[in-house]
Structure 1
Amino acid sequence: MSHQPHLQTAGFIRRIGALVYDTCLILVLEILAATVIVLMLEAMVAVGLLHYGIYKDVSGFLTHHPFWSSVFTAYLAMIWIGFFVWFWTQKGQTLGMKAWRLMVSNADGTPITITQALIRLFTSGFGLSNLTVPLDPQKRGFHDIWAKTNLYVIPKKEA
């Protein structure tokens, strides 16, 4: 893609629509990921390879064990982070962004880097950074300013 001046910058409502859509997808993905771990642990307990020790059940083990609770949290965080980084760098859009016809890129239309995706994600404040969109003359969220990215509306004919 070349320079994107012909594309409209995404406004607040579209951004929030995509955010809500992606939040639902992430919740489902995290539930499925957690279910895999719970099933694996329960299977290990059933065959005698693992015991929860002082913990009443798998939930207590995964939320209170000094080591495994941290590993479990990191696992879920990596899935969440990986979702956004992969979609933004490989496709330019998440599934929610695709539904709302949005595309993230550099100003010249090139895909964003992993570093830009991480900056964008970690400065997004779980979507709160979009509150700066109505205040910025270029309609950028705080996370787009920091990551030096742009969020464009894809015309219907290209979507």
Structure 2
Amino acid sequence: MSGEFPRAGFWRRFASLVYDTLAIIAFAMLTVVLYLFAVQGLITLDVISLNGAEDVSALIQESLLLSSVRSALLVTVALVFFGYFWTKSGQTIGMRAWRLKVQTNEGCLISWPQSIVRSLSALLGLGNLVVLIDFKNKKALQDYISKTEVVTLTKEENKRIYRELD
């Protein structure tokens, strides 16, 4: 455990996740719009056809391949969102607002492989429920699996990290 900052509790993590979910929804909406345009472009170029579907959206919904590609894109958006912020500063948008930072157990920034493992093992945020019963360590399921921790920063340290990003 990092001796410098205390580990974050459940409610701070939850509030941070709400903020980040809103940001991810915005990126997901943009991704879906771009994907719809791409599929429409393929239809226009006669690469694929509507095959009796009412519109592009219905075609994607009816096609296992197209809906799987859309799902893969949305998962990728979430993984890239968290991975980018966690590996660059240890803080997502929501974490910055709630003065949280994810780091290795040794206090360093996490790696891309750790961020992917952490994201996937979070189980859409449900992994944070472990914090409610892990009174001593205040670690979530994803913390244990990815060998990371989430700490609560002081206002000064939070500002310092933000200034270093410039």
Q: Which residue of 2 aligns with 1:54?
A: 52
Alignment of 1:5-154 (within 5 A): 5-43=3-41, 45=43, 50-136=48-134, 137-154=136-153
Deviation, structure 1 residue 37: 1.6
Deviation, structure 1 residue 49: 6.2
Deviation, structure 1 residue 115: 2.0
Q: Percent identity?
A: 32
1:128 aligned partner, one-letter code: L
> TM-score, normalized by length of structure 1?
0.89
Deviation, structure 1 residue 44: 5.1
**Count of residues in Structure 1 that have an aligned counterpart in Structure 2:** 157
Q: Which residue of 2 aligns with 1:157?
A: 156
Q: Separation in 2 of the partners of 1:56 and 1:148?
A: 48
Q: Separation in 2 of the partners of 1:126 and 1:48?
A: 38
Q: Separation in 2 of the partners of 1:46 and 1:114?
A: 38
Query: Which runs of 5 or more residues in structure 1 are unaligned?
Result: none
- Which range moves more in the overlay, 21-30 or 109-118? 109-118
1:158 aligned partner, one-letter code: E
Q: Separation in 1 of the partners of 2:44 and 2:88?
A: 41
- Which range moves more in the overlay, 136-145 or 42-51? 42-51
Deviation, structure 1 residue 151: 0.3
* 1:70 partner SS: helix
* 2:31 partner SS: helix
> TM-score, normalized by length of structure 2?
0.85
Deviation, structure 1 residue 117: 1.3
